[in-house]
């Protein structure tokens, strides 16, 4: 008992004994776990001993996303590294380039949540990258929504142990000298097999590369103009939502259209949906990339062929980047006549919006949100009544 207490008060005053160098694009949790392991500790025990805080509490959270000023201060002091070096490993260092967030608790759409039972687990990896590493480590990019496959090894990333299917939890690792093992069964993650991509799918890899380069540079070249990467990533979220029209999607020149539709069909019938979201976000990423190629033709064709109105493309888009609004304004001019074309999803979106903000859903209110007259616009009336019949039945 006495020894334990001494230990607690004692080690906290010390600097880390051995400090591994952060590797290129390394995640904070990866570096911290490596540091804990060289101290022969589990991450939570290590943090409790060295960082003077409840280690269990810190390590059970998403330390790569959560901005924790005190932890950052402690790590800076204990490691002797420059604060910026440590901050660089946090996903927060991508704020302003990949996403924006006002003290948000959970990662925005651009970053995978660590626990999301509806989809796949958030921490993915490329087994071949791990196998090639002199010191195996986890990359920040493996948590980006657009990063689903490895352009270098041309395989899909995976999010679990190939043997026992346990998700990857670095904080549970103990008694190993490297972080490339399953925390449950101990299998070497470098041996995990994932699906290889045939040349037909290389278009999707090109898309990943395009987004990766844009994020690194901080801008994308679209129509010979430099566009801030944040604008493109914020539009990405909106566009992938609009593109995910399953069977109904019209995007003729997109080379993976058939594969995307096949996957959507499979998702409807398939029992275990666990791995499918990885493939789906692979296709969505490739589609958003496609919209910005052959500019502006692909974008205009998408809007036209799918009868997307200006409002659908730009309305109720939170924090709409001005660049995106301008783009939509110039490519799909808004109509302001009472007889403008209104689509079903637009009306549905307005109904959902009213429900969300707790307002009464009636024909007049919905029309106000859609931006048309509630009795004069016949198309609106028709859609509203058919939806009302389906929804409120």
Q: How far apart are CA 236 and CA 145, in angstroms?
A: 10
Residue with tokens 């990885």: 278
Q: How far apart are CA 131 and CA 190, in angstroms?
A: 5
Q: How far is the CB of 274 from Zn ion (least distance, A)?
A: 15
Measured from the CB atom, the residue of 182 and 243 that comes closer to Zn ion is: 182
Nearest Cα to Cα of residue 170 among 212, 207, 121, 218: 121
Q: Terminus-to-terminus CA distance in the chain, angstroms? A: 66
Rounded-to-10 torsion of CA 273, 276, 277, 279: 180
Measured from the CB atom, the residue of 185 and 376 that comes closer to Zn ion is: 185
Query: Half-sphere exposure of residue 58, counting CA atoms within 13 Å on the CB side?
Result: 27
Crossing angle for the helix pair 363-370 and 344-356, nearest 10 degrees? 110
Q: Is the dihedral of CA 304, 307, 309, 314 positive or negative?
A: negative
**Using an 8 Å Cβ cutoff, are 137 and 197 in contact?**
no
129 touches Zn ion (CB under 5 A): yes
Q: How far is the CB of 143 from Zn ion (least distance, A)?
A: 15
Measured from the CB atom, the residue of 180 and 227 that comes closer to Zn ion is: 180
3-state SS assignment for residue 155: strand
Binding mask 133-172 for Zn ion (x = CB under 5 A): -----------------x-xx-------x-xx-x------
Q: How far is the CB of 87 from Zn ion (least distance, A)?
A: 26
Measured from the CB atom, the residue of 72 and 131 that comes closer to Zn ion is: 131
Measured from the CB atom, the residue of 8 and 152 that comes closer to Zn ion is: 152
Q: How far is the CB of 379 from Zn ion (least distance, A)?
A: 50
Binding mask 179-198 for Zn ion (x = CB under 5 A): ---x-xx-x-----------
**Which residue stretch of 38-46, 98-106, 122-130, 140-148 sits at the interface with Zn ion (rule: CB under 5 A)?**
122-130
Q: How far is the CB of 149 from Zn ion (least distance, A)?
A: 9
Q: How far is the CB of 137 from Zn ion (least distance, A)?
A: 13
Measured from the CB atom, the residue of 182 and 327 that comes closer to Zn ion is: 182
Give residues with Cβ within 8 angstroms of 96, minimum separation 6. Answer: 230
Q: How far is the CB of 263 from Zn ion (least distance, A)?
A: 22
Measured from the CB atom, the residue of 134 and 319 that comes closer to Zn ion is: 134
Residues that bind Zn ion (CB under 5 A): 126, 128-129, 150, 152-153, 161, 163-164, 166, 182, 184-185, 187
């Amino acid at each position: 008992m006495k020894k334990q207490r001494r230990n607690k008060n004692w080690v906290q005053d010390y600097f880390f004994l051995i400090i591994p160098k952060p590797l290129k694009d390394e995640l904070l949790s990866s570096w911290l776990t490596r540091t804990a392991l060289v101290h022969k500790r589990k991450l939570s025990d290590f943090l409790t001993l060295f960082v003077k805080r409840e280690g269990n509490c810190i390590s059970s959270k998403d330390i790569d996303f959560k901005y924790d000023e005190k932890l950052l201060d402690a790590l800076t002091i204990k490691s002797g590294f420059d604060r910026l070096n440590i901050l660089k490993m946090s996903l927060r260092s991508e704020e302003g380039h990949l996403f924006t967030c006002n003290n948000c608790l959970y990662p925005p759409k651009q970053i995978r949540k660590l626990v999301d039972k509806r989809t796949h687990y958030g921490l993915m990896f490329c087994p071949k990258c791990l196998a090639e590493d002199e010191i195996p480590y986890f990359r920040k990019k493996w948590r980006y929504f657009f990063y689903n496959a490895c352009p270098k090894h041309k395989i899909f990333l995976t999010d679990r142990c190939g043997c026992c299917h346990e998700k990857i939890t670095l904080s549970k690792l103990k008694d190993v000298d490297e972080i490339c093992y399953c925390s449950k069964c101990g299998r070497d993650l470098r041996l995990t097999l994932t699906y290889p991509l045939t040349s037909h799918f290389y278009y999707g890899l090109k898309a990943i590369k395009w987004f990766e380069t844009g994020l690194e540079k901080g801008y994308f070249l679209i129509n010979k103009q430099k566009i801030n990467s944040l604008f493109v990533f914020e539009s990405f979220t909106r566009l992938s939502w609009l593109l995910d029209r399953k069977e109904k999607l019209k995007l003729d020149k997109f080379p993976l259209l058939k594969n995307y539709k096949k996957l959507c069909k499979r998702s409807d019938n398939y029992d275990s949906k666990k791995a499918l979201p990885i493939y789906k976000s692979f296709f969505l990423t490739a589609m958003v990339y496609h919209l910005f190629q052959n500019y502006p033709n692909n974008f205009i064709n998408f809007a036209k062929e799918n009868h997307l109105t200006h409002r659908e493309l730009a309305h109720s888009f939170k924090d709409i980047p001005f660049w995106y609004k301008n783009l939509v304004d110039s490519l799909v001019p808004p109509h302001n006549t009472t007889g403008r074309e209104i689509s079903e999803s637009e009306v549905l979106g307005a109904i959902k919006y009213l429900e969300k903000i707790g307002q009464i859903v009636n024909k007049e209110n919905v029309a106000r949100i859609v931006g048309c007259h509630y009795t004069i616009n016949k198309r609106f009336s028709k859609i509203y009544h058919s939806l009302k019949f389906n929804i409120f039945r």
